[in-house]
Structure 1
Amino acid sequence: MLRVKSQEALPNAVDLGGVIDTLLDKHFNQ
């Protein structure tokens, strides 16, 4: 159960990081 939750949480964290990076890039590019 813990492994399944960890695997599910990891992609979410990666996606969140990508969204933040995109927002920061757009902000600084402007």
Structure 2
Amino acid sequence: MVSIIVLSFSIYCFITKRQSNLIRLKDLKVLF
């Protein structure tokens, strides 16, 4: 369970480095 959260957070961080703030918010809602 914890590993899934860590994995999701890692993917989220990877996405935020490459995308804009608007897409960042959308991805945040999807992951969490």
Q: One fold, TM greater than 0.5? A: yes
Stretches of structure 2 that go unaligned for 5 or more consecutive residues are 21-32
What count of residue pairs does the alignment treat as equivalent?
20
Cα root mean square deviation, aligned: 1.1
Identity %: 0
Specify every segment of 5 or more residues in structure 1 that has no aligned partner in the other structure, as ranges.
1-10
TM-score (norm 2): 0.53
1:12 corresponds in structure 2 to 2
